[in-house]
Every structure is written in structure tokens, then in C-alpha cells.
Chains A and B, each alone.
Chain A
Amino acid sequence: MSTEVVSSKRRLDAGARRRPPFRVGRLVISVVLFVVGVLMLAPLVWLISTSLTDPVEAFRLPPSWLPVPFSLQNFRDVVDLIPLGQMALNSLIVTVISVLGSLFTASLAAYAFSRLPFPGRDSIFVVLLTALMVPTQLTIIPIFILMRNLGLIDHLTALWLPALINVFAIFFLRQYFNSIPRDLDEAARIDGAGHLRILFQIMIPLAGPALSALAILGFESSWNNYFGPLIFLTSPEKMTLPIGLVSLSAGQGGGPAVVVFAGITLVVLPMLVVFLAFQRAFVESVASVGIRG
């Protein structure tokens, strides 16, 4: 990067200020970063602008970065081709049940592993932790056979039921509960509060940052899941958004590229809005969970 100019200049005013201004170096870095940012966003800008363009004029070269002539026809075509609203609702159902359900079971278990003594506790915990190593692909075939025997193929249940267990959430919450002073719950216990009350009125409110981090990561993986729906779902009205989107581009019954673009836009834009609204929470969830090592 920018070393020579920068280092000699720093020696001159070292000591004068904590962070001497390296104008040249910082300018170069700023320009490079700006270009990186623009390049990262370029495909998305092209996507949105193309999907808002009249289908006849879309995809002309040189590429148009503005939606001229403007048209919403592509979005109407998407809704005509696939049951997009139903798919969004399916995604929402699966995601909400998966995230809330897995946080519920994880909170109960994490409370027990953190606060309740019972025989076999530590060995059970270690067995649970080994599950962190088991990839979905290994368990998916027996789960598929199980769902088939239960008659749950092409049901949303097949997606959210196995998602109710989140071993990482149990582990992460237990660590968090362990950092909450025991005096708090012991005081509550002396006042006559039961374990459920302590968990829901003391521990869970205090574990807010951990729970929201887990909820955001759970939302991300459930909402975007492609592998599960591909295996379990077959009919269009049962599909979730990712797989419905791919069906839009598939050979028979699919739409032309510009309609697919409109479909992608309809999936990307709500996520962008959610992200911009909760950006801080998103960033912190990745940072807090990522740096557990």
C-alpha cells in the first residue's frame, strides 16, 4: 500500500499528535475502498434498474444504469407466474416458527445447563456439543425418510420441525447465562420465584443481546434456506421464496430474464430495508457470535 511517503512524514510529527494525518495514504485507501464499495453494489444497482425498465428495452447494451423507460410490467408478470405472496407467507411461517421455537427450547436447556444441577449434566452437554460438528447433509437423508413416513413431504412442518433444535444457541446462551450473576436469581428464589419465572423474568431479559444475535442469525439462515425446501417441497403453493424464485427461472413455466430480475428484486429489496433498519443489530450479531473463539 502506501508506506514510504507515509512513514517518513509520520516521524516528523510523531509525538506531536496521537494519530498524525497521513493524507496521501488515507486518500489512496479511501479511493480504493470507495471503488470496492461501488463494485460490490454494481450488480444490485443493475438488477434493480433493469427490473424497473420496460421489458422491451431491458438488457440493452451499453447497460442502462437508470430505469428508462420506467415500467412495473415485470413485477406484474412475476405475480402472474408464481404465487409470490403465498411463497413469502410460507417463508415467514417457517422462519418465525424456527427462530422463536429454537430460541425457546434453547433457553430452557441453557438455563438447566447453567443453573440446575442434575445427574449427567456435564456429559449430556458434551454429547450435545459434538452435534455442532455434524453437517446437515449427513442427517438430511434419514430425516427425509422420517418425514416421508410421517407423510410430511410437501408440508412446511418438514422444514421447521427439525429446526426447533439449535445446538449452537444452547451453547451460546449457556455461556451468556453463566455470565449473569447468580445473586440475582438466588434473590428471586428466596422471594419464592420458580425456575420458569426466573428464566423468563430475569435471565431472558438480561440475555437480550445474545438472544437478538441468535434470532438474527437464525432468521438469515432460515429465510435464505435453499437445500431444505428443495428436498422437502414440491408444489408451487408450498414453496418458500428462495426455491420459488429459482422455479421462476426454470425451463418450463418460467419467465424471461427480465421477469426473473423483477423476482430477485422483490426478494432483495425487503431484505435491504430490514438490513438498513437494523444494521447495527445485524453487524453486532455477526461480531459477537463470530468472536466466540
Chain B
Amino acid sequence: MTTATVDRVEGVPRQRRARPSTGRSFPLAGWLFISPAMLLFLLFILGPFVAAMALSLYSYDLLTPAEFVGLKNFRALASDDLLIKALGNTFVFAFASVVTHLIGGLLLAVAVNRGLNKVLSYFIRTAVFFPFLISWAAVALLWKYVLDPSFGILSYYLGLIGIEAPGWFTDPNWALPSIIGIDFWHTIGYTFLIMLAGLQTVPNEMTEAARVDGANRAQIFFFVTLPLMTPTMFFASVITFIGAFQIFDPVQIITGGGPNDATITAVMYLYQTGFQAFQIGYASAIALVVFAVIMIVTIVQFWGSRKWVHNA
């Protein structure tokens, strides 16, 4: 665990200046050492980033020469109903993902942290975390069958207890919630581990002191543990949102965006316009919108964190 390493960022340059013994160094060494990374950075991150911004001002189909169209792509975006639908779906998915992962991950971590039987603790950690390591491709295909209306196990067992299962992927009202559920199964283990690591940072002395003062278990949780967990929850909410807003694999594999565009997501729409319809300029404009949304939401999260995150 390397939690302590982070604090030292600011201190380092000062420390360096205090020591004159770097005499043998010359700037060329530094540049040489960063040159492979910088070259790749320019070629595959910064360059493409600038190129994407430029491309968004063009109309380009890979075959005929690109034509400069100014802001036409962005004007078209504003009235593109499918994009609005895709952004709406993606927001619903990302919001549901953040809420379910935070609550589920925290509850699981708190429960596991209660000093359970060792075997049970090992079992639950393994069972909850392992799905995270399976590729989305395998997870999506598996769940397509788990939720199959004719031979899927979920529909069958729901039927046994008298619940008639909906057409998970064919009913427009159920398709997106189904994807949300599958995503929960797939990635809850990651949030769970982060929460578990966060719980280790809550000092025992604090909960112990509260206990001595007569606080009951619920009071300790809500007034001691939870406030001290807010930095971890904040971090988890930021990365869960960023990841969820780029959701693509399961919808592409399971529903293809259907039924009736009920599960089309922003990145999926980007994929369809860019790599199936080859509207490169328009797809670049969509990519910029996705980027902007992620940036804005992240900034808002950081800004809002002052209100609820301990020591933010």
C-alpha cells in the first residue's frame, strides 16, 4: 500500500535545491529520459487531441478530401435527437452507476470489515471482486443468456416465486436498467475494494473514543466512520462517473443500442457515426461533447466536494 507516497509531491523540488550534489547531471540526460514517453505522448495523445478538435470543423468521410465546414457539425449536434437521446441514456446510466456502486460498495465494505469469520471473508472478497477481472465481452455474452426469456436462469427463478419476468432487453423500459444491473455485477468489486481500503484509513482510536463516550453502532457509523470515509467516497464517485460515462462494450454486444434506441449511449453513437457511417468530422464533434461533459461534471464534483467531503 502506498498511501504515504503521495504527500511528498510539493516537498520535493525544495529538497532538491537544498542539495547541490547534482553536479554531474546535465539537462540532456533529463530530456533523453523523457523523450520516449514524450514522443509517444505527442503522437498518440496530444497530437490526436488537437487533430480531433480540428477534424470537428471538417466534413470528412476518409475517401473524398476533407472539407472545412466551420461550426456546422456543432450546429447539427444541437438538433440531433439521437445524440440527445444517447446523452440522456448515458446520464441516467452514469448517475445510477455512481449511486448504486457507492451505496453497495460502502455497505459491503462495512459489513466485511466487521471482523467476520476468515473463510467467509475470503469467500466474499473473491466472489465480489472476481467478476471485475472478466472482460466485458465475456460478461455481456454471459448475461445475455442469464437474462434470456426462454432458458435464462433469472427469468426461471423469478417465475418460481410468482414474478413474471419482463423482456429484459426487448422492453424499452427494462433494457437500460438491465444494463445498469449487469454493470453493477461486473464492477462493484472494484468500488468495494476501494471502500475497504478507505475503511482502513479510519483510525480505530476515533471509533473507539466514540464507543467509550457511549455512542451506539449506528451513531458511530453515521457520525464517525461515514464523515471520515467521504474522501474515499468522493474519489470513488469521480472515477465511477468518468468510467460510466464512457460505457460502450455491454450495450454494443447485448442490445446494439435497442430496443427503440433505449440503450444507445454517447460513445456508442460516436462509434456508429465514426466507424460505421464514417462521418469523421461529425464523430469528432461528438467526441468533444463527451469530453466536455466529463470535464464539466468532474469540475462540478470537485467544486461541490467542499460542501460534503471531510478535509476537502
Interface of A with B (CB < 8 Å)? 3, 6-7, 10-11, 14, 18-19, 22, 25-26, 29-30, 32-34, 36-38, 40-44, 46-47, 59-63, 104-106, 108-109, 111-114, 116-119, 121-122, 124, 127-128, 131, 133-146, 148, 161-162, 164-165, 167, 170, 175-176, 178-179, 182, 186, 189, 195, 209-210, 213, 220, 223-227, 230-231, 241-243, 245-246, 249, 257, 260-261, 263-264, 267-268, 271-272, 275-276, 279, 282-284, 286-288, 290-293
What are the interface flags for B159-199 relative to A under an 8 Å C-beta threshold, 1 for contact and 0 otherwise?
Answer: 00000000000000000000000000100001001101110
Q: Contacts A61-B151, A139-B49, A287-B197 hold; do A243 and B137 have CB atoms under 8 A apart?
A: yes
A127 contacts which chain B residues (CB < 8 A)? Answer: 46
Q: CA A284 – CA B193 in complex, angstroms? A: 9
Known A33-B120, A227-B249: A128·B211 in contact at CB below 8 Å: no
**Cα A282 to Cα B49 with chains together (Å):** 32
B48 contacts A by Cβ under 8 Å: yes
Show 15 A/B contacts (Cβ-Cβ < 8 Å), sorted by A.
A3-B216, A7-B217, A14-B211, A40-B128, A60-B151, A62-B156, A112-B31, A118-B28, A133-B291, A135-B294, A142-B48, A143-B44, A145-B62, A226-B253, A245-B141
A178 near B127 with CB under 8 A, answer no
Q: Please measure, in the bound complex, the distance between the C-alpha atom of A222 and the C-alpha atom of B38, giving whole angstroms.
A: 21
Q: Does B263 contact A (CB under 8 A)?
A: no
Given contacts A34-B120, A165-B37, A275-B133, contact A287 B290 (CB under 8 A): no
Q: Which residues of B contact A283 (CB under 8 A)?
A: 125, 129, 193
Q: Is the CB of A195 within 8 A of B9?
A: no
Task: State in angstroms the CA–CA spacing of A225 and B246 once bound together.
Answer: 13
User: Quick one: given A6-B217, A267-B138, are A116 and B33 in contact (CB under 8 Å)?
Assistant: yes
What's the least CB distance linking B119 to chain A, in Å?
Answer: 10
| Other A-B pairs beyond A137-B287, A283-B129, 5, CB < 8 Å | A116-B29, A145-B280, A167-B41, A245-B141, A263-B141
Q: Which of B67-75, B77-85, B95-103, B228-236 contacts its partner?
A: B228-236
Question: Are A108 and B3 in contact, with the CB atoms below 8 A?
Answer: no
| Docked complex: B134-148 residues within 8 A CB-CB of A | 134-138, 140-146, 148
Contact B274 A141 (CB under 8 A): yes
Are B48 and A146 in contact, with the CB atoms below 8 A?
A: yes
CB distance from B61 to the nearest CB of A (A): 12
Q: Once the chains bind, are B290 and A137 in contact (CB under 8 Å)? A: yes
Query: Nearest CB to that of B274 among chain A residues?
Result: A141
Let me know if A108 and B36 touch, CB within 8 A.
Answer: yes
- CB contact under 8 A between A33 and B12, given known A170-B37, A195-B29, A195-B33: no
B:9-61 near A, CB below 8 Å: 9, 12-13, 15-16, 19, 21-22, 24-25, 27-31, 33-34, 36-38, 40-41, 43-49, 51-52, 55
The answer for the CA separation of A92 and B123 in the assembled complex, in Å, is: 29
Q: Mark B283-303, 1 if CB is under 8 A from A, else 0.
A: 110011011001100100000
- Pair A26/B194 contact, Cβ less than 8 Å: no
Contact B22 A117, beta carbon cutoff 8 Å: yes
Chain A residues touching B, majority SS? helix
Q: A10-B217, A138-B290, A141-B287 are in contact. Are A290 and B33 (CB under 8 A)?
A: no
Q: Is the CB of A133 within 8 A of B34?
A: no
* Cα(A114)–Cα(B12), bound, Å: 8
Taking the closest CB of chain B, its distance from the CB of A128, in whole angstroms, is 6
Take A165-B41, A261-B145 as given contacts and tell me if A226 and B249 are in contact as well, using a CB distance cutoff of 8 Å: yes
A113 to B149, CA, bound (A): 56
Complex contacts, A124 vs chain B, CB 8 Å: 34, 38
Q: Which residues of B contact A137 (CB under 8 A)?
A: 246, 267, 270, 287, 290-291
* Residues on B with beta carbons closer than 8 Å to the beta carbon of A113: 34
Q: Does B235 contact A105, Cβ atoms closer than 8 Å?
A: no
CB pair A134–B6 under 8 Å, yes or no, is no
User: How many Å from the CB of A172 to the closest CB on chain B?
Assistant: 8
B94 to chain A, nearest CB (A): 13
For A133, what are the chain B residues with a Cβ–Cβ distance below 8 Å?
291, 294-295, 298
The residues of B that contact A148 with a CB separation of less than 8 Å are 62
Task: Give chain B nearest CB distance to A43 CB in angstroms.
Answer: 5
User: How many Å from the CB of A210 to the closest CB on chain B?
Assistant: 6
Verify B137–A245 contact, CB threshold 8 A. yes
> Which of A30, A42, A164 is the one whose CB lies under 8 Å from B153?
A42
Cβ-defined contact, A139 with B34, below 8 A? no
- What's the nearest-Cβ distance from chain B to residue A276, in Å? 8
Chain A residues closer than 8 Å to B21, beta-carbon distance: 186, 189
Q: How far is the CA of A226 from the CA of B252 in the complex (A)?
A: 10
What's the least CB distance linking A106 to chain B, in Å? 7
Given contacts A6-B217, A7-B217, A40-B185, contact A26 B116 (CB under 8 A): yes
What CA separation (Å) do A260 and B253 show in the bound complex? 13
| Contact indicator B13/A178 (Cβ below 8 Å) | no
